[in-house]
Chains A and B, each alone.
Chain A
Amino acid sequence: MYRYDQYDHLIVRERIAQYRDQVRRRLADELTEEEFLPLRLQNGLYMQRHAYMLRIAVPYGLLSTAQMRMFAHIARKYDRGYGHFTTRQNIQFNWIELEQTPDILTDLASVEMHAIQTSGNCIRNTTTDEYAGVAADEIIDPRPYAELIRQWSTFHPEFIALPRKFKIAINGAVEDRAAIAVHDIGLTAVRNDAGEVGFKFMVGGGLGRTPIIGSVINDFVPWQHLLTYTEAIMRVYNQFGRRDNKYKARIKILVKAVGAEEFARLVEAEFADLKDGPETLTREEVERVAQWFNPKPYLTLPSIDPRAEHAGDKAFANWLQRNVKPHKVPGYASVVLSLKKTGVPPGDATAEQMDFVADLADKYSFGELRVTHEQNLVLADVEQSKLFEVWQQAKARGLATPNIGLLTDMISCPGGDYCSLANAKSIPIAAAIAERFDNLDFQHDIGDIELNISGCINACGHHHVGHIGVLGVDKDGAEWYQVSIGGAQGNESAIGKIIGPSFSAPQMPEVVGRLLEVYVKNRVEGERFVDVAQRLGVAPFKEHVYATPIPAGAKVGEDEYA
């Protein structure tokens, strides 16, 4: 993975000194809270419901084991023994003292990490495919380009106070596993007829209160112009994005207002002045960065079927089927460690688990880990012959729930238990649904399904693109949940459609149950829930869900399902 050189180290060190002084000035009241706010946000520090939350950047979701052990250390020393992996492939800690944040940053810098621009109205962490570099359908490895974007966007002087936050995702494979269509800029690698690499630029996608699928504004920008073309987009947005209304300030509103064609024209006009300028990428620079992502020292191994050796072990077979992904190198596989064990908030990991996965990665996966935007962890390079060992060890630590892509592999934001923006809780809803459908045979029968839960309209839980989407809303001071179906991420991205009036928390497991009944009744061979939902539309689902009243007796979040 990328290693800091002397300049990366210098910049991060100077940032810590700057931030340490900002904290000192805030504590000495030389800075008002209003003035401190954007400064701390640009350093990932939020004031949450109970305490400060620190969001640490995991650039494009890639981690060394030393970095993971540092998270465990931070969890123990500065927090309450756990951390939360997010849909931005980052990690956040929820119980942080302001006075300690400069020290945390110093600790992080010792493993080449920081919290720069993990929040605030600036360019955030660029996300990518968790299987980058190992996926068989990869056109190019997107990670060097993600790293180049990271460096270019870090403290970009012109784009530090944008109208709103700005998120870039980059995909290098045929299949989009980075949800590029719902990002401010979504990039996908393409090759032209001459075999040259370039990027297709989508702009103006996003979720939140106005969910929009991004528009392609350029089918092929040669790789040399990746940064300059992005800069042109940023300058148009900085000048013309709305600032009068926070809810209409994202670039998607601008693209929608002027139209994608006109937006593209504005970008081209800016780009004309930047094209071939000094920020144009050179082969030498791309290769310098790319060398850190070179293929690992893979052994020459035969492809084996790990199932064969443990033919009678159904639990292992389930895990292989759901949590093990194909690898482009024969004899290897990628393993998803599930952070979705029933009873645990999605994406949470304890310090002990973090240390443990670091050990696993050292032993089995070249000392590297990845964070997925579905809030799981990945060991990308496991020898097939070691899968049984890995499974046994992961299982002992509660990290081998064979549910990847299944109903209980939910995306959920932290919701009202932590977040001061939330209108409703998310974690207890996720827990209640998980408990109701804990039966793995049932889940395997239902097959691939994405259930995404957000505690408010900001859509951190990506509910709009869930096959089933759950959105917490506030009605007269009470928490209610609105349900949508038919949303999808990836190449066929779609925004889900709302089925009707919202539900109380205790009704939610039954609502999901009824949706699944309609699916099971109507599916034909090989059809996923989302296929049926898109084929039939909302009507039959709505009819069944609202046909008879759903009892609202049980209390979600308590243990009556246990």
Chain B
Amino acid sequence: MPNFELHSHKQIIKHREVVDDDWSVLKLVEDGTPDTVEVPAGKIIVPLKVWQAQREQLLGRAARKELGIWFASDELANTVKDDLDKFAVIAVDFPKFSDGRGYSIAYNLRKRLGYQGELRAIGDVLRDQLFQMYRCGFNAYATRQDRNIHDALKGLTVFSETYQASVDNELPLFRRHPRGALPEHSDLGAGI
């Protein structure tokens, strides 16, 4: 019995398109320990802890661009700050859509550590989170497979302007645009 499971999506959203995907996400099952798990061949995204435990063995696969890592939501971006250029993909797990730690992990990977590669949201990833995920630096989304991925794509285009700076926009609204113009047509209280 292997002490891990592999999860794969036939399709993910990447750069605002639905694309085929050939990566698998390795998850340890009960009794699985990071240092003993045998990472199978192929393009595998392993838990951060597995990378930390088996770094020497995995370096070669990483060099062949067949290795990615994923962060659990309670792990911190800066734990791998010197290895970021080694991974073909970094994923961040959202165990529940209500767990927002992944947004800060993404922000820190991009803004503080300068990670440039694929940053993929995995786990409980639904349409209504995609816009904020995008803003925090994700560029790939393994959306939940019980939902229509083409519908989910619509989640990326909800807002055309935002107030604050984040990864998607270096500058907040007040530095991007001159502000203060009131709308030409006032419909004040039109609904009353």
Contacts and interface: CB of A to CB of B under 8 A. Distances in A.
Interface stretch (B39-47, B82-90, B130-138): B130-138
Interface string B129-166: 00111011000000000000001000000111111111
B151 to A, nearest CB: 8
A282 interface: yes
Nearest to B144: A35
Interface stretch (B23-31, B61-69, B98-106): B98-106
A502 B159 CA distance: 51
Contacts of B163: 7, 11, 151-152, 154-155
Contacts of A154: 163-164
A158 B100 contact: yes
B191 A5 contact: no
B190 interface: yes
Given A121-B98, A285-B174, A156 B191 contact: no
B175 interface: yes
B102 to A, nearest CB: 9
B132 A157 contact: yes
Interface in A256-302: 273, 277-279, 282, 285, 288
Interface residues of A, number: 52
B1 interface: no
B183 A6 contact: yes
Given A3-B182, A152-B172, A155-B163, A39 B192 contact: no
A468 B51 CA distance: 58
Interface in B77-129: 97-101, 103-104, 107, 111-112, 126, 128
A5 B132 contact: no
Contacts of A15: 159
A238 B107 CA distance: 12
B162 A288 contact: no
A157 B183 contact: no
B99 A288 contact: no
A256 B185 CA distance: 51
A152 B189 contact: no
- A38, A160, A161, A273 — which one has the most chain B CB atoms within 10 A of its CB? A161
Interface in A57-102: 66, 69-70, 73
Given A5-B182, A35-B97, A243-B99, A160 B132 contact: yes
Given A39-B128, A107-B192, A157 B182 contact: no
A106 interface: yes
Contact of B191 (A3, A106, A273): A106
Contacts of A273: 111-112
Nearest to A104: B191
Given A157-B131, A158-B132, A111 B99 contact: no
B171 interface: yes
Nearest to B105: A239
A550 interface: no
Contacts of A107: 190-192
A155 B187 contact: no
Nearest to B179: A5
A121 B175 CA distance: 28
Contacts of A14: 158-161
A162 B100 contact: yes
B28 to A, nearest CB: 20
B76 interface: yes
Contacts of A110: 187-192
A278 B133 CA distance: 20
B170 interface: yes
A110 B185 CA distance: 11
B188 A156 contact: no
B159 A155 contact: yes
A238 B101 contact: yes
Contacts of B151: 30
Contacts of A235: 104, 107
Contacts of B166: 156-158
A279 B175 CA distance: 9
Contacts of B136: 157-158
15 contacts: A9-B183, A11-B163, A18-B158, A18-B159, A66-B188, A66-B189, A73-B192, A107-B192, A157-B136, A158-B132, A159-B100, A161-B98, A162-B100, A235-B107, A288-B179
Given A4-B183, A5-B179, A243-B99, 9 more contacts: A5-B183, A7-B161, A11-B159, A66-B189, A110-B188, A110-B192, A157-B103, A160-B132, A288-B179
- Counting from the closest, the 5 A-B pairs by CB-CB distance are A161-B100, A107-B191, A157-B135, A157-B132, A110-B190
